[in-house]
Structure 1
Amino acid sequence: MTGKNLHEGHRKRVKERFLKEGLDSFNDHQVLELLMFYAIPMKDTNELAHRMIKEFGSLSGLFEANPKDICNKCGVSENSAILISLVPSLARRYFKGKWGEKIVLNSASKAGEYSVSLFVGKHYENFYIICLDSQNRVKHSALVHEGSINEVPVYPRIIVELALRHQAHSIILAHNHPGGSLKPSQEDINITNTIVSVLESIDIKVRDHIIVSGDKYISLKQNNFL
């Protein structure tokens, strides 16, 4: 059997397995191998997938990497790097479409699930404000800042401006902990209390502050921090 026919046979088997089982039974390198079929024709992508994941430490680390770094470190084409980097953005777009236009966040669980969707593929700390109407429907979600929470003394001013601009009846705060811990820091609690105090003066309520790490979350209100 020629090398060409061998690769064709292998690719066909991998695709058939996906159609039958989905991705849940795939290892990370197999997920990447399948994805790379659509950027690298007629070449074994298994060894490359192993090497790329090792280079960036994990599949998620690879997906979140800068396309230029993927090209330089893995020796792949720009097309391959762009395809890989599209994954987190496509996931966020998918979740946005899945939630629909009239998103009602009337519980900590719904607020947490919605917040998780905002941070897919975000590998730096991000802080969001979610503006709600009187029926707890999302009017607008806005990225307030990217970076450490210690670096953002301007949070209250920006949040007040956004809440007023979008005529929020109430808001939910959300930020992520890329490091993996869901435990709120003292800075998290302090900035939350400051924002609550400032917004009370203009009659806008802070309904919750959600901290996200990966696909998990914690509600500060539910855990008596708010």
Structure 2
Amino acid sequence: MSGGDDTSPGLFEAPVTSAPEPHYLGHRQRLRDKLLRNGAAGFADYELLELLLALAIPRRDVKPLAKDLLVRFGDFAGVIAASPEDLTAVPGVKETTVAALKLVEGAAVRLLKGRVAERTALAAWDDLMDYCLAAQSRADVEEFRLLFLDTKKRLIADQAMQRGTINHTPVYPREVVKRALELKAHSVIMVHNHPSGDPTPSQADIDTTQQIKQGLATVDIALLDHVVVSPGRYISFRRKNLL
């Protein structure tokens, strides 16, 4: 009998074999290769969401979860914009998954904001609207925000001023005027969302807009526009001749 530490399988010992890779790993690798080769333009929503979920849940087939989330929230944008409370109500969604989705939402909004940061608001209007839609069109309650502009109509600050209910946000003209003066703004764009999905301005929206316009005019600050957003759509008071 030879000495030493023999680690080879014994006569009655089953040889050690590596477990086969889960079926979804090859699919996931193909998606990654496609993404790196061609970008995300050709991806279906569930494929893009599947890759994102795989970063948060690496040891699980996440395609069924991706499809469940899309059924629940409608599309990719709806998933990443959903509230943490609504997301965790979906079976299989934990805190790490929510963090990954919220990170993507924050990155998207910041990227869109960066496109308008050094350009005049009117020259970058389409990009500005893309930013406003991404930032608040899918909120589940009304949110009122102000875009403060300098003498060249470039963005000084973007601030959420009020958060209300599903169909009402209290806005106080004196607070708008006060903040515009503090920032030395020369003009302002108002933005708020309609969670109902219909961006048509209400009579209350029109009345509030006129009150704020008059208040800003007393200190020589122009109200350039009031934009009402909902998922995928917006209405501009300026373009509708409501200012």
Which category describes the TM-score, using the shorter chain as reference length?
Answer: 0.7 to 0.9
Max Rg structure: 2
CA-atom RMSD in angstroms: 2.5
Structure 2: distance between partners of 1:214 and 1:151: 18
- 1:72 offset after TM fit, Å? 4.5
- Within the candidate set 135, 150, 154, 1:137 is matched to 154
Which residue of the partner structure matches residue 59 of structure 1? 76
- Report if aligned partners of 1:180, 1:213 keep a CA contact under 8 Å in 2: yes
- Report if aligned partners of 1:132, 1:171 keep a CA contact under 8 Å in 2: yes
- Within the candidate set 186, 195, 203, 2:220 is matched to 203
- Where does 1:178-197 land on structure 2 (aligned, <5 Å)? 178-197=195-214
- Report if aligned partners of 1:7, 1:42 keep a CA contact under 8 Å in 2: no
- Report if aligned partners of 1:182, 1:218 keep a CA contact under 8 Å in 2: yes
- Within the candidate set 87, 92, 99, 2:109 is matched to 92
- 1:159 offset after TM fit, Å? 0.3
- 1:55 offset after TM fit, Å? 3.8
Name the SS of the counterpart of 1:73 in structure 2.
Answer: coil
Name the SS of the counterpart of 2:161 in structure 1.
Answer: strand
- Within the candidate set 107, 127, 140, 1:113 is matched to 127
Amino acid at match of 1:71: T
Structure 1: distance between partners of 2:92 and 2:25: 23
Matched, 1:83 2:100: yes
CA-to-partner distance for each residue in 1:177-196, whole Å, 9 max, x for gaps? Answer: 23332322212211111111
Matched, 1:104 2:143: no
- For these two proteins, the number of residue pairs brought into alignment is 222
- Report if aligned partners of 2:120, 2:155 keep a CA contact under 8 Å in 1: yes
- Report if aligned partners of 1:182, 1:217 keep a CA contact under 8 Å in 2: yes
**Change over 3 Å in CA distance of 1:131–1:117 after alignment to 2:** same
Amino acid at match of 2:131: S
TM-score (norm 1): 0.85
Matched, 1:28 2:45: yes
- Report if aligned partners of 1:112, 1:217 keep a CA contact under 8 Å in 2: no
Amino acid at match of 2:154: R
Name the SS of the counterpart of 2:55 in structure 1.
Answer: coil
Matched, 1:166 2:183: yes
- Report if aligned partners of 2:148, 2:185 keep a CA contact under 8 Å in 1: yes
Question: What are the ranges of 5 or more consecutive residues in structure 2 without an aligned counterpart?
Answer: 1-18
Amino acid at match of 2:151: S
- 1:80 offset after TM fit, Å? 1.7
Structure 1: distance between partners of 2:174 and 2:157: 17
Structure 2: distance between partners of 1:134 and 1:191: 25
**Change over 3 Å in CA distance of 1:119–1:3 after alignment to 2:** farther
Structure 1: distance between partners of 2:147 and 2:77: 26
Which residue of the partner structure matches residue 35 of structure 2? 18
Identity of aligned residues (%): 33
Amino acid at match of 1:34: L
Instruction: Between the two structures, name the one with larger relative contact order (CA 8 Å, sep ≥ 6).
Output: 1
- Within the candidate set 19, 38, 53, 2:55 is matched to 38
